[in-house]
């Protein structure tokens, strides 16, 4: 059974909601790491430079992991949408061009 356009819209909205929640979660994790590093400074007695170096390393790792998470989520959404047979922009453009050509032919035949 083919999904209806309502089902497709619902799936699209669902994936957008999941994506937003994932980004909020990652942002929250980044904030928690910053707090943890502040507490770590107090516990270890690190200098400000050492804390900055550690924060930079953690930030770089988190940024890399975030990019990987975003890429993975985008690929998953894309694969899911392809399974639903949602046409791509290029396919819609081709279909629109064909419809325009057919409309012109029909118009020419009616004259």
* Coil/strand/helix, residue 1: coil
Per-residue pLDDT of 32-90, as tens digits, reads: 877 877 787 788 887 878 877 887 888 889 889 889 988 988 888 888 777 777 777 88
Residue 102 has pLDDT above 90, yes or no: yes
The answer to whether the beta carbons of residues 55 and 34 sit under 8 Å apart is yes
Is the overall model pTM greater than 0.75, yes or no? Answer: no
Residue 5 has pLDDT above 60, yes or no: no
Domain map (residue ranges) of the chain: 5-86
Residue 99 has pLDDT above 90, yes or no: yes
Q: Report d(CA 84, CA 76) in Å as an integer.
A: 13
- Across the range 11-18, mean pLDDT stands at 78
CB atoms within 10 A of CB 61: 11
pLDDT of residue 100: 94
């Amino acid at each position: 059974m083919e999904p209806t356009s309502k089902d497709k819209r619902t799936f699209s909205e669902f994936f957008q909601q999941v994506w937003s929640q994932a980004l909020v979660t990652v942002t929250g994790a980044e904030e928690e790491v910053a707090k943890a590093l502040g507490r770590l400074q107090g516990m270890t007695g690190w200098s400000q430079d050492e804390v900055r170096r550690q924060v930079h390393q953690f930030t770089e790792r988190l940024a890399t992991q975030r990019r990987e998470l975003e890429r993975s989520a985008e690929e998953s959404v894309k694969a899911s949408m392809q399974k639903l047979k949602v046409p791509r922009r290029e396919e819609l453009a081709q279909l629109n061009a064909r419809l325009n050509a057919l409309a012109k032919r029909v118009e020419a035949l009616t004259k």
